[in-house]
Amino acid sequence: MNEAIILALVFAVLLFAGVPISFAIGAAAVGALLVSLDPTAATTVIAQRMASGLDSFALLAIPFFILSGQLMNRGGIARRLIDLAKVVVGRLPGGLAYVNVLGSMLFGAISGSAVAAAAAIGGTMTPMMKREGYNREFSAAVNISAAPIGLLIPPSNVMVIYSLASGGVSIAALFLAGYVPGIVLGLALMATIAIVAKGKNLPVGEKIALAEAVRIFLAALPSLLLVLLVMGGIILGWFTPTEASAIAVAYTFVLSVLVYREIQWRELPGLLTDSAATTAIVLLLVGASMGMSWVMSSANIPQAVTATILAITDDKVMLLLIINVLLLVVGTFMDMTPAVLIFTPILLPIVQKFGMTPLHFGLMLIFNLCIGLCTPPVGSCLFVGCGVAETTIAKVWRPLLPFFFAMFAVLMLVTFWPALSTALPKALGF
């Protein structure tokens, strides 16, 4: 029990003091071990656990997907997907808001990064929506709420992390499980836009001629083919998700550098450096979180939390509501990677006692933390969305509220309707 108290206190103090979360996690883990070990032994144990936690073939997918996301972000793919979305939904009242959501869905299905979607789609759509007379704060709210869809629709790095934390849930099954919730979330956001458009008389987009629509579709087709290449190859058993991530890099390199020619050869060293830096941040978080998870396990913290929660209620509905509230609170102040690695071993045994599968729980967990990306104080999509729209959190908060209600509604569907997440993987034999 002493280890648990020290772990929680050190982590909370360092986190609220502004210490980077990976260092706060590592220091808290070492502090907890000092109860029973000398300083040298404590730091050695955590270092060993961090190293062993990173010794996973599946984690190789993370640097590859990060690099492919960088290539997509700078390779003109976002612009072509936005043009395609305009063809599909641009003529509706509030058409550019629909385009923003559909563009994020398409970009997420290729890049798997919420922040990249917020920057790439938001950076293109916000000036366009401003010229058409849309309110800047409304534009930012649409962009912020739509960007996390990229973490639900595969490929998704956080699903790779969850696979590691849960003890080996199939990454392919997780990828497939994310499609329907991601699409339903996109449709819910579009329904919200439809309600707002009726009340605010939002503008209608210009009509696009058939010949121009065909040209736009053909220009975006090579980007869309990446989805078929990656997911089709995984489903058909041609390659593993990790191998698919390397293929995604090769394909996006050819597309961005040789076909679209949006990225110059001289830009590649900087792009590789940025990808390496992002990868280092993510993997440091993974290693530190794995060290903390080991300390928590050795101190029997998951078992104590399980007993405490089960003592509160044995009703499945109430239990899932409590867990959802807990995860929503966690998502407001903790990054997704450590949150998944720390809370999966704590909460997964609890929900399994009530018949929830690790696959279903993974989607519920990720969905909760996606909402956290849109909330202060550490919501990365919130800050990026406000930054590209040149507005403030205080001004964008009110336009965001209807979209939050839509996200919460879909979260309840994901939580209490397992088939929404699990039907597609089961149908395809995963």
193: closest CA among 155, 243, 236, 141?
141
**pLDDT digits 0-9 by tens, 245-302:** 888 888 888 888 888 888 888 888 988 998 888 888 888 888 888 888 888 877 777 7
Predicted pLDDT of residue 411: 95
CA distance readout (Å), 338 to 155, 237, 283, 374: 19, 31, 10, 17
155: CB partners within 8 A, 6+ apart: 61, 65, 112, 175, 230, 241, 244, 245, 248
Residue 230 pLDDT grade (very low, low, confident, very high; cuts 50, 70, 90)? confident
The pLDDT, as a whole number, for residue 191 is 93
Average pLDDT, the chain: 84
How far apart CA 206 and CA 402 sit, in angstroms, is 26
For residues 302 and 296, the answer to whether their CB atoms sit within 8 Å is yes
Tokens of 121: 């789609």
Q: Kindly write down the DSSP assignment for every residue of 64-109, as one continuous string.
A: HHHHHHHHHHHTTHHHHHHHHHHHHHTTSBTHHHHHHHHHHHHHHH
Condensed to tens digits (0 to 9), the pLDDT of residues 361-410 reads 999 999 999 898 888 766 778 888 888 888 888 888 888 999 999 999 99
202: three-class secondary structure by DSSP: coil
**pLDDT interval class at 111 (50, 70, 90):** low
For tokens 């699409």, what's the residue?
183
User: pTM here?
Assistant: 0.85
**Which residues 6+ apart lie within 8 Å of 387 measured at CB?**
none
Which of 77, 227, 102, 141 lies closest to 407, judged by CA?
141
Provide the token pair at 277.
Answer: 């830096």
**How many residues can be counted in the chain?**
430
Q: What is the pLDDT of residue 410?
A: 95
The mean pLDDT of 94-105, rounded to a whole number, is 84
- Pair 167, 122: CB distance under 8 Å: no
pLDDT score, position 192: 93
Q: Is the model's pLDDT at 331 over the cut of 90?
A: no
pLDDT in tens, 13-57: 887 887 888 888 888 888 888 877 777 777 888 888 888 878 778
Would you call 204 helix, strand, or coil by DSSP? strand
